Structures are given as C-alpha cells and as structure tokens.
Structure 1
Amino acid sequence: MIPVNEPLLNGNESKYLLECIETGWISSEGPFITRFEREFAATVGRKHAIAVANGSMALDAGMMALGLEEGAEVIMPSFTIISCAAAIVRAGCVPVAVDSDALTWNIDPTKIEAAITPKTRAIMVVHIYGLPCDMTAINEIARRHDLKIIEDAAEMHGQTYNGQPCGSFGDVSIFSFYPNKHITTGEGGMIVTDSDALADRSRSLRNLCFLPARRFVHEELGWNMRMTNMQAALGCAQLERLPEFVERKRAMGKLYTELLQDLPGIQLPLPETSYARNIYWVYGIVLKDEIDFDAAEAMKRLAAKGIGCRPFFWPMHEQPVLQKMGFFKDADLPIAAKLARRGFYIPSGMALREDQIREVAGMVAEVIR
C-alpha cells in the first residue's frame, strides 16, 4: 500500500526531542514553545503567534477572540472541513455558506456579496488544497462592509498571495500542524495576529482563562488547548525546512500533472493562478461528468490496487448535524456538492518518492480508462 500521506522527519526532530527529554521540558512549558511561536510569527509576517493543541482549537479560540455578538452571521465556504462551521457555531454565531470556484475550489468571491445581510459581521476564508483564495477581492468586500476576516490557512504553510504570506490577511489567522501538513507537530495549531488585544485574548482562552493575579479564579470559561514543548520541538525542526518542503511538494505536483494531463475525463489542480503557484498540499482529482462512476468508486478501485486515497470535503450545507440545527435551509451550492461527490486526492505526503508517484499515476490511469 502506498499511503495517502507520510511525513518526513529526518532533520533535527530527533535531536530536539531528545533535548526535551534530557532537560525535562516535556509539558506545555519550555523553551521550544516560545521559539516556535517567535519563528513562526516571523515566517508569516505577523506580530503574534499563539501555539495551541490543534488547528480546530485554533479556529475555536480565534472565533471567540473576535468577540462577535450572539447571532452574528459569518460567511464561509461550504466546501471545507467541519471545524470551520463548528467554530462559528460554538462562538454563538450563524454560518452562511457560499459556493466554490470550479477551478480553484476556493470560495467564489463573486458570490460573497449576495450573502451579506445586516447581521453579517465576518468572512471566514479557507485556502483549499494548495491555492489561496482571491484575497484582493475578498479584502475589498470586507473593507466596504466593515467585516472582520478570520483566515483559515491550515493547509498553506509556505504559500503566498501576490508575494504576501498566507496567514497574514486575517484579523486573526490560523494554521494546523496535523501530520499531513507541510510541517507537522503530530497534532498542533497556531493562531497568528497583529492585534495585541486579540493575541492576549487567545492566550487566555488557550489556558483556561486563568486570571493573572488570582490563578484559580475565573471570570469566564476557556479551554486547555496548550501545545507541549515536545510538539513545539518538532515544529522548530520542521520549520527549518519549510522552503525545501514547499519546493518538494511543487515538484511532486508537477510530476503528477505531467503524468496525468493527457488522461481524459478528469480535472487536475491548477498549477498556478495570476496571484500564486500551487503548493499542492494534496493532489486532488475531480472526475468529469463523462466518467460513469463517482469518487467513492474510484477510491475503492484504487485501494484494491494498493493506492491510498481520501475523499474531498463533504460540503457544510449538506452536513446532517448542521441541518438539524436549522442552518443552510434551501441552500443550493452545486459546485461544492459536485466536488464532494466527484473529487478525491491521491498520495501526496512529504515522504512520497518519485517511483511511487509514477506507480500511483499509472494506477489512476488504469482505473480511469
């Protein structure tokens, strides 16, 4: 079996982890935490970085830190992971789903303005799979309507939009360090912002909202979402190699495209747009209508040949848990629905070898043909 993802951990990871063990700094206190936060903030051009337990909790804390009123509407893409909608709902707000662009798979900025109402207070942008959202258009909409931006850059380590780092566009932005990301800490996430107030609020929410003067007295409820020093040690080692990892992923994507571009019946990721080159967090494939089976069947056939795959995100407007809550009534978002049913991604982990890429591409061609 060629796994859908395998991380690359052959840099300073062992050295830094051993340092944690030898010094006893293995909990959520320790020098690698502050180092990782400082170096990551510099990498994405932000004033503050707050390390947390995972990307989903980064979204939760980021949404709460914004302090939006109960019932405020937050526009988001339907085509994304459930964590995005969950963070909006947990903050007492209302998610409003917008359809995707058929080529980039990101939120379609031309459809955002029609979703704005007097209750809209923010836009959650989610950069999907390797290409960033069109931030020039989205920032202009947000400016015109006085809306906050929460930026989910979980999949965008090392990516830029017109030369500006992804993760630098939101009032608050977040990253994930799950093992399938460009850099990993096993689990883990990061909140980044230029606002002193939002940073202080995020740090408080991360650590159970302890009062500075009276530690075990609480005026509100937070979470224990602290990252450990051992996770941060992994993050520091991985961050040292981020430019290398980005180029490695781009080389993988380029080879996959060369091998699959003449295969009829499939849509491949865009190599680039006017504002960014793809970093291929994953290598996605969308089956065109002429293929008489769906993504689930394609993945089943590839699994039988030893090729690990994953489905695309299931859209938020079709999520049973959110529909039961009364969200997304009568939503008709055909592109997000099609991507969910016809899209999947093939092995594209950091440790994937060229011979494996060629084997995967051959099996994909066999299945499609």
Structure 2
Amino acid sequence: MMSPPVTELTDRARQIFRAVVDGYLASGAPVGSKTIAAAAGLNLSPASIRGVMGELEALGLLASPHTSAGRVPTDRGLRLFVDGMMQAAEPSAEERAQIEQRSRSGGPVEEALAATTAALSGLSACAGLVLVPKRELRLRSIGFVPLSPGQALAVLVAEDGSVENRVVDLPAGIDASALVAAANYMSQRLGGLTLGEARVRVEQELAAGRAALDDVGRALVERGLAVWSEDGDRRPVLIVRGQGRLIDAAAAADLDRVRDLLDDLEGKQEIAALLDSARAGDATRIFIGAENKLFALSGSSVIARPFRGPGGQVVGVVGVIGPTRLNYARIVPMVDFTAATLARLMG
C-alpha cells in the first residue's frame, strides 16, 4: 500500500497529521485528539480531530496502539513526513565545531573516524555509525618480542604510524637470533608494501632461494604474515559508537525493542551491508523501520550519507541508528555536515 502524496491530503488533514508526528517525535508517546485541540490552534473539537485521525489511520499513515486512545505515525506515515513535510534545521555553530574538532584528533585515520562518529552520536543521541574506508596498511617495520618458549608478540608498525600487535605461535627450535633475523628480513625487504604485496614477495623470494632465512626463520615469516592477513580479512569495516544512548527514558518502557536493536548492532555485517547500499549517489539515505527487513523487530531508523576521498571516489558512509522517533529535521543535516567533514579529512 503506497502512501498518498502530501498534496492529496486536505489542509486540515496535513495539520493534524503534522501535529501527531511532531508530538510523537518529541515524546515517543501516542498523541490524543485533546492534546492536538489544546495545542495546535486548529479551532476544532476533539471529536472532529478524532474523525480526521481515523481517516489518516485508514490511509495507513497513523496507527492506534491498543493501550491508548492516541495515535502514532506508522513507518509509512514517517516516510511521508520525511519526504514531503520535514523542514530541516541546520547544525548550530557549536555543533559544527564539535564535529570538526573531533575529526582533527590526529593519529591513524580510523581513530579520527571513530572520534568524529562519537561526536555525532553525542549530538544526535543515537548510536553513530561509520563504514571505514577499505584500505590496506603499508608496512614500515616489524619486530618480535619473546613471550614464552612457544609464543612471541609480533609488533607491526605501519607507514601511517599505527601499531598493531599479534601473538604468534613460534616454530619448534627457534631462538632469539632467529627472531631478530626474521624481523630484520621483514623490515628491510617488505617495508612500504601492503600485506598482500608482502606475501607475494616472500613467496617469490623463497621460491627463488633469495631469502636469507633458514627453515625456522622462513616458517616464522610465513606464520606472521598469515596471522595478520587472516585477521585483516575478518576485521569489521563498521565502527559503532554510543550504543548506550539508545537506552533513554522513553526506551525503558520498550526494552524488548531496545534489546532487538542492540542485537541488530551485533550483526555488523548486516548493518555494514545496509550502509554500503547508501554508497551510490550523493544524497542522504533514510531507512525507516520495517521498510528494511533488518529492523522489522526493533523498529529502528538509519540516516546515512556517503563521503568521498581523493579523486572524488566514495570511500565510506557515515550515519546514525536509533528509534523511528528520531528528530529527523535536526539529525539529517547533522549527518550531512559530518559526511562533508570526513570528506575533508580524507582529502
């Protein structure tokens, strides 16, 4: 069932519909005819307002929870409101400054992305999401620190200054000199390469007999690269910040829905796939409730926008997730501004 265009609603129906949506988005509670009659300045009796609300319900734009005589907008009604009636409110100078300041946190780009997403989460009172640009680390140096006779800590330093540690199982018979030799070989021969490129070079040099490594050292190099590559393949491309903001006073009465939403966030691959669908085009995408089967139980909404890097290519998507009663008019421009900030960061 398609929603009617806004232009097909009478002026009275539009006013009452907007009053219900505004009241619901502000409180999270059903809105009754007496509330609208007292606040909306319509000069209509509660009985007349109830009649119009019944017509809007028949159109699939409003629903009446059985626990209340008031009405709430349906997902279809929220879609009509967002697409045809919403008046966006641009972020304040203070909000813009907070987002920009967090984007300049320094360090690896993932940390700046996470910090900016945390700022967006705090300002929107939602969970912030960012789909991390898909990129590969380039190696600067690699070292091994013995932990026990059978294990060592492999320390990888990337060209962007980021440091990653992995515990590596050691081949039998290895000693401290072999750890030093393997680290020197990897730093000297593999510096500046991605993990994929490094594995190819190691395989080529071992096959040609050019690698100055004994059997033990060769096994260590191969094992270290394998651990990093395997971990990188599994690494989530999605950063989530501010899940705790989803549990507010209004949510306390609907803990099952909140639990479903938090379960959705645990399935990062599904959320990442949803965000990835927003990569096409330049516009902000808004996913409302059961419009997406992922949120059929939790009744959540996602607002997402792609951001671009050097050359104008889309490198990631930033957004928020929260209940369907989001303040869309305020949060949509905030997500837009965050995307523009991240595009400058990536440039």
TM category (shorter chain) comes to under 0.3
Higher relative helix content: 2
The structure that has the greater radius of gyration is: 2
Taking CA–CA contacts closer than 8 Å with sequence separation of 6 or more, which of the two structures ends up with the larger relative contact order? Answer: 1
Q: TM-score, normalised by structure 1?
A: 0.21
